[in-house]
Amino acid sequence: MDLIPLPRVAVFHEEGRRYAFGPEPVLTAGPGAEGVARWLRRELGAATGWNLPDGGGAGGRGTRGDIRLAVDPAVGAGAGGGAEGPAAEAYRLDVGADGVELTGASAAGLFRGAQTLRQLLGPDAYRRAPVAGREWSLPYAGIVDAPRFGWRGLMLDVARHFMPKDGVLRYIDLLAAHKLNVLHLHLTDDQGWRIEIKRHPRLTEVGAWRARSRWGHRASPLWDDTPHGGFYTQDDIREIVAYAAERHVRVVPEIDVPGHAQAAIAAYPELGNTDVVDTAALGVWDDWGVNPNVLAPTEAVLRFYEGVFEEVLELFPAEVSPFVHVGGDECPKEQWKASGVAQARIAELGVDGEDGLQSWFIRHFDGWLAQRGRRLIGWDEILEGGLAPGAAVSSWRGYGGGIAAAEAGHDVVMCPEQQVYLDHRQAAGEDEPVPIGYVRSLEDVYRFEPVPPALSAEAAAHVLGAQANVWTEVMEHRGRVDYQVFPRLAAFAEAVWSWQPAPAERDFARFEERLAAHYGRLDALGVEYRPPGGPLPWQRRPGLLGRPIEGAPPNV
């Protein structure tokens, strides 16, 4: 069958026998399966018109019901990763003459199995209302499955171009449909602050809005003079987190320090290097690139951001969001070099220049978060100047930072820009909209390998998994995000879920065959993906300047 991502073991009845559902199937859920049952009744009920009444009993084998759900930790035996790792997401799906039996090692594993069940029902199972005349059946099958990695994520940049709440909820559903389990929300940057902080209201009153936006890459001479902005209220965030938790998706909030901070400085000028720059004259940045306006290294700034993080931790409970991302990347040092305040702080702390000052900033919040039961994660620049033992690294500049971090005993999420930045163009053709970076084709992403061969076995155990990153400078609305993300996210999902051979040995031709059926699911979900033949006329951006990089990307 055309399942994506590919299961570990899938055996289908050689004679093609199928279990046909009647007009009113029964669903039975055992202890721990109630949440998945509720999700199935809502989602499958919308597509099929079924009520899926409760058949009673304990779920599992011997219980009445067309669909029987159960949780049994023994299903994860041999899957690896421990109770909180991949083993917890293992499941077994059996379809035969007595209906469907779905068992997960945990509620999360059961939910992953429910995604496979939905795929087997066909593309119409993803619709929001029944298609007239549709009959529902499943092939007789036995599927045993578990993921390779425990961190399978997507980083969504909502700071450069704001994505309204309903769009974020939709992307959580799209992640869940592909068995991905982490949504990394890039909530703050120079171009916008997207989360309500009640003790600092100007962060959204001022920082969430910019007067205009560069139209295209930062070298483009064109501007969109429509003011742009938006933010999530605290109740919006609570809804997003709860919605994700029901689908067993972690949400990792990112609050950038000490760089990428002009939106915050525009709202509160005292956060900037006031002895070097007239920070009161700064607005929310309307351009792209690396901004020189960074936070001042003062105790007052630390207290301000501690207040921000206190509210963030309340909104993102530890059981859903154990990690908090602090950015830490692309922090120009020119203002600190010119600032008497910064130089005095370097002397006071005895750190190694401006790089040491950045490390001091990150270490402060690492300790602060650890005291509150959270783990800091940041982009690989946080390795510069030394890193606290519990911190984890998002390796974006290539594999190198991740290799160094893992060999030093730090946990790593691999997201090298040369491999899995989905804002990079998908083909070399002139019709590709706003072409950025290297060509990263569907096949390139399918052959992505999160664990580089240079890693020792001990260090490889520190690779938590991987995520694809989507920076939205040139993605002005949801359709543009869809185009850049899909169908490559399906290839990425298989790279991080499925137990695959070495990249060069992977069967991409067979993946393309399975993807042909998957396009029907994406159509039913309303995803505006890039068609196999290239962009449709309305997906193009003729004449809009990008920044294509020619040749194969370096493996660094």
Active site residues: 189, 260, 330
- What is the rounded distance in angstroms from the CA atom of residue 259 to the CA atom of residue 308? 16
CA 553 to centroid of chain Cα atoms: 23
Name the nearest CA neighbour of 321 among 251, 375, 243.
251
8 Å CB contact between 110 and 36? yes
Return the residue matching tokens 């509210």: 311
- What is the rounded distance in angstroms from the CA atom of residue 535 to the CA atom of residue 484? 11
Q: How many CB atoms lie within 10 A of CB 426?
A: 22
Cis peptide bond N-terminal to 130, omega within 30: no
Map residue 491 onto helix, strand or coil: helix
- What is the rounded distance in angstroms from the CA atom of residue 291 to the CA atom of residue 347? 25
Q: Percent helix, strand, coil in the chain (nearest 5)?
A: 35, 20, 45
- What is the rounded distance in angstroms from the CA atom of residue 187 to the CA atom of residue 192? 8
Q: How many CB atoms lie within 10 A of CB 337?
A: 13
- What is the rounded distance in angstroms from the CA atom of residue 45 to the CA atom of residue 517? 22
- What is the rounded distance in angstroms from the CA atom of residue 440 to the CA atom of residue 421? 8
- What is the rounded distance in angstroms from the CA atom of residue 192 to the CA atom of residue 159? 5
- What is the rounded distance in angstroms from the CA atom of residue 316 to the CA atom of residue 480? 28
- What is the rounded distance in angstroms from the CA atom of residue 506 to the CA atom of residue 498? 11
337 sits in which H/E element? helix 334-338
Cis peptide bond N-terminal to 86, omega within 30: no
Name the nearest CA neighbour of 257 among 315, 209, 302.
302
- What is the rounded distance in angstroms from the CA atom of residue 441 to the CA atom of residue 419? 10
Name the nearest CA neighbour of 448 among 514, 512, 500.
500
Name the nearest CA neighbour of 522 among 123, 151, 80.
123
Q: Alpha helix locations (H) across 62-187?
A: 107-121, 165-177
Residues 6+ apart with CB under 8 A from 46: 127, 128, 129
8 Å CB contact between 1 and 139? yes
